[in-house]
Amino acid sequence: MTLHALDKRFRIVEIPVAYKDRPTGSLSKLNTFRDGTKVIFTIARILRYYRPLTFFGGSAIIVGIVALLAGVPF
């Protein structure tokens, strides 16, 4: 949302929020790998939407390097 707001030149305002400690005995619902994967894919989608040349150019370079490595005789 921040990238979209910056792209559309919206005014961004900070709003104070009161935080409380986690209740004793409660467990976090965060999962490092699952949530990290979601973050990486979200960054890729945002990059694809806002900077398509960077996204597809980088993808083409990676695929090209893999193709060159696959073609090297051993």
Contact of 46 with 38, CB cutoff 8 Å: no
Contact of 28 with 39, CB cutoff 8 Å: no
**Percentage of residues of the chain with pLDDT beyond 90:** 57
Confidence check: pLDDT of 74 > 80: no
pLDDT digits (tens, 9 = 90+) for 31-41: 999 999 999 99
